[in-house]
């Protein structure tokens, strides 16, 4: 049997396996069959980001869904967390998002949500894979009288905007606040400006003109440099950058400094503890979080629970610990009191609420955490052997760890969504951090590329 799902759905180059129209058709069929229930008119919400390949995959998915006797509800370009919300609020049986998140435009992907708005657990993804690779779905198809229909709804964006605004404290307003939004030419390009404007903010939008090929192109959460320049130039209070599908947030303070997910986590966790909304006094993060976050949480007397990389693992731990906040340094943050998944716009709203509550500029709030120098090098690889079986890589990592001691750390891992090895080093100085990271990366290149 093949393997389709990675750490965040199915992903690949559009029009190449597995992101082909034929595979999308089968994913639609398998998902529809899995969530179909007797005595009920089943329906699946289908949304996408702004990639040109979304048209091809959307039509194929809808064909598969309808062929299994399930209705498809199309909402067009919509942030991934928007699909999670609509699936739950419209009592749909499942939600499907066509997006490759922060990847370049030539990639695309498929993410699936349950009727409760949560990403599917491993066992459900395996069931979909089993159905697809068993090659017998034609035996499960209903009669012509029982085929599904496809509908488009026009008020999906408005419903989601109302939901977003309701996550911002009613006693506060954004009136008089100057905010610059980097929409990454992606799925937030309409929703985010409307949300912040309706809350009273003076909004300037950057990269909000998608053309199918410019999503994440030197913009968004992966490339916030221009946003930082504009914040200083326009004397804005805050800048926020989303990724292509709107589930990540990177912020910029009024001085043009870029804040990562760890910094936003620390700021919001501190405010939540003060107001009594930090349930069980715990913050969930991943092994990629900066050492500075651990030290800050310890100083604040907040417990830190650490998971593997991936927002789904953060969410699993949050639900197990009844935690109200968790996330990744990449900016994928989850506020479980407000939503079932990471939502860049909600994260930005909670950060703005923290600024209002503390009555301090973002640059002052950011001082709560000292971020250790960190270097990350991504290396495209041909294969992904177990790193512990490559002696040269094991040895160079060991040398770096011994020299850093308790003043730094090394993390080398494969990407769960791309053929890539990520080498991350943190250390006491930028010079040492870069040196050890480059040394490890050189060996990885030599052995795996």
pLDDT tens-digit map of 105-161 = 999 999 999 999 999 988 999 999 999 999 888 899 999 999 999 999 999 999 999
pTM: 0.91
Residues of each domain in the chain carrying CATH 3.30.310.50:
374-448
Half-sphere exposure of 344 (CA within 13 A, CB side): 35
CATH code for residues 160-257: 3.40.120.10
Label residue 188 by pLDDT band (50, 70, 90).
very high
Q: Are 192 and 345 in contact (CB under 8 A)?
A: yes
Active site residue 285: no
The predicted structure's pLDDT at residue 137 = 87
Sign of the torsion angle spanned by Cα atoms 415, 228, 241, 57: negative
The predicted structure's pLDDT at residue 241 = 98
Number of other residues whose CB lies within 10 A of the CB of residue 121: 11
Q: Which of 141-145, 260-264, 337-341 has the lowest mean pLDDT?
A: 141-145
Measure the CA–CA gap between 118 and 264, rounded to whole angstroms: 23
How far apart, in Å, do the first and last CA atoms of the chain sit? 27
Number of other residues whose CB lies within 10 A of the CB of residue 295: 15
- Catalytic residue from among 101, 289, 324, 347: 101
The tokens describing 390, both together, are 């490559």
Label residue 228 by pLDDT band (50, 70, 90).
very high
pLDDT in tens, 268-277: 999 999 999 9
The predicted structure's pLDDT at residue 7 = 80
CATH code for residues 259-347+362-368: 3.40.120.10
Measure the CA–CA gap between 133 and 109, rounded to whole angstroms: 18
> CATH number for the 10-154 domain, one of 3.40.50.2000, 3.40.120.10, 3.20.20.150, 1.20.210.10?
3.40.120.10
Strands lying side by side in the sheet with 238-242? 202-206, 178-182, 238-242, 249-252, 258-259
List of long-range contacts for 276-282, beta carbons under 8 Å, 24+ apart: 277/324, 277/337, 278/302, 278/324, 278/325, 279/322, 279/323, 279/324, 279/337, 280/321, 280/322, 280/323, 282/321, 282/323
The predicted structure's pLDDT at residue 2 = 61
CA distances 411 to 251, 308, 377, 432, Å, are 25, 11, 11, 15
pLDDT in tens, 55-67: 999 999 999 999 9
Measure the CA–CA gap between 426 and 407, rounded to whole angstroms: 8
CATH code for residues 374-448: 3.30.310.50
pLDDT at 218 > cutoff 50: yes
The predicted structure's pLDDT at residue 41 = 87
Measure the CA–CA gap between 373 and 437, rounded to whole angstroms: 11
Residues of each domain in the chain carrying CATH 3.40.120.10:
10-154, 160-257, 259-347+362-368
The predicted structure's pLDDT at residue 94 = 97
pLDDT in tens, 86-101: 999 999 999 999 999 9
Task: Determine what percent of the chain falls in helix, strand and coil, rounding each to the nearest 5.
Answer: 40, 20, 40
The predicted structure's pLDDT at residue 206 = 98
The predicted structure's pLDDT at residue 1 = 47
pLDDT in tens, 24-55: 999 999 999 999 887 788 999 999 999 999 99
Q: What is the mean pLDDT of the chain?
A: 95
**For 433-446, what is the mean pLDDT?**
96
pLDDT in tens, 397-424: 999 999 998 888 999 999 877 889 999 9
The tokens describing 216, both together, are 């994440």
Q: Are 242 and 248 in contact (CB under 8 A)?
A: yes
pLDDT in tens, 190-215: 999 999 999 999 999 999 999 999 99
Is 174 in a helix, a strand, or coil?
coil
The predicted structure's pLDDT at residue 418 = 80
pLDDT in tens, 357-397: 999 999 999 999 999 998 999 999 998 999 999 999 999 99
């Amino acid at each position: 049997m093949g393997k389709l799902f990675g750490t965040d759905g199915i992903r690949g180059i559009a029009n190449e396996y597995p992101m082909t129209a034929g595979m999308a058709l089968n994913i639609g069929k398998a998902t529809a069959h899995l969530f179909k229930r007797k005595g009920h008119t089943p329906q699946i919400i289908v949304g996408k980001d702004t990639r040109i390949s979304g048209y091809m995959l959307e039509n194929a998915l809808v064909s598969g869904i309808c062929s299994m006797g399930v209705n498809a509800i199309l909402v067009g370009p919509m942030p991934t967390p928007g699909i999670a919300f609509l699936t739950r609020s419209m009592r749909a049986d499942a939600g499907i998002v066509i997006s490759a998140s922060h990847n370049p435009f030539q990639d695309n992907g498929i993410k699936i949500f349950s009727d409760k708005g949560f990403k599917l657990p491993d066992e459900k993804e395996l069931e979909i894979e089993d159905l697809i690779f068993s090659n017998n779905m034609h035996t499960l198809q209903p009669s012509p009288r029982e085929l599904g229909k496809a509908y488009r709804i026009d008020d999906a964006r408005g419903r989601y905007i109302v939901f977003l605004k309701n996550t911002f404290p009613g006693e506060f307003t954004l009136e008089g606040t100057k905010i610059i939004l980097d929409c990454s030419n992606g799925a937030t390009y309409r929703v985010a400006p409307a949300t912040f404007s309706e809350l009273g903010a003076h909004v300037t939008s950057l990269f909000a003109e998608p053309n199918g090929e410019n999503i994440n192109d030197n913009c968004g959460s992966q490339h916030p440099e221009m946003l930082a320049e504009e914040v200083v130039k326009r004397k804005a209070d805050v800048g926020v950058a989303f990724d292509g599908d709107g589930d990540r947030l990177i912020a910029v303070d009024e001085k043009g400094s870029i804040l990562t997910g760890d910094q936003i986590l620390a700021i919001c966790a501190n405010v939540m503890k003060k107001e009594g909304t930090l349930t069980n006094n715990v913050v969930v993060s991943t092994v990629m979080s900066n050492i500075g976050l651990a030290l800050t949480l310890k100083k604040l007397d907040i417990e830190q629970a650490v998971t593997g990389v991936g927002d789904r693992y953060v969410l699993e731990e949050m639900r197990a610990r009844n935690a109200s906040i968790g996330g990744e340094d990449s900016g994928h943050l989850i506020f479980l009191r407000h939503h079932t998944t990471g939502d860049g716009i909600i994260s930005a709203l909670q950060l703005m609420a923290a600024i209002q509550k503390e009555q301090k500029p973002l640059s002052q709030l950011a001082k709560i955490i000292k971020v250790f120098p960190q270097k990350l090098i991504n290396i495209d690889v041909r294969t992904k052997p177990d790193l512990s079986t490559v002696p040269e890589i094991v040895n160079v990592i060991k040398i770096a760890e011994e020299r850093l001691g308790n003043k730094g750390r090394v993390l080398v891992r494969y990407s769960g969504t791309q053929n890539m090895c990520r080498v991350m080093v943190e250390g006491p100085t930028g010079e040492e951090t870069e040196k050890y990271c480059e040394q490890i990366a050189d060996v990885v290149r030599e052995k795996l590329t």
